[in-house]
Amino acid sequence: MSDTIQFIPQRRFYDTATVAETHRRLLAEGHNISENALRGFIRQGILPAVKIGRKSLLYYPNVIKLLTEGNNHVSSDDERPSYIPAKISV
């Protein structure tokens, strides 16, 4: 038997990918966020995505920007849709 070490090539990730592929890349790079959280951000309009059929495509730099800088835009109550409750001050 030969004592050689076989290296497994690293998986290639693309900047534009589905939610599941983006989630896999985030986990591989050490970001702890769930796939459902990504889908929720898309549904709320926080994270831009392109819908193709039932799939959503995400641009990875946008996801990283959201995770590092956050969503600083908070709409005022005048701009808020009626189905979203007003902010509660504590």
* % pLDDT > 90, the chain: 52
Enter the tokens of residue 44.
Answer: 């709320």
Give the tens place of pLDDT for each residue, 56-72: 999 999 999 999 888 76
Q: What is the pLDDT of residue 80?
A: 61
The residues spanned by each domain of the chain are: 16-69
Beta bridge partner(s), residue 55: 52
Angle (deg, nearest 10), helices 19-28 and 35-44: 130
Q: What average pLDDT is seen over the chain?
A: 82
> In the predicted model, what is the mean pLDDT of residues 34-55?
93
66 sits in which H/E element: helix 60-69
Residue with tokens 């090539």: 9
Q: What is the pLDDT of residue 89?
A: 53
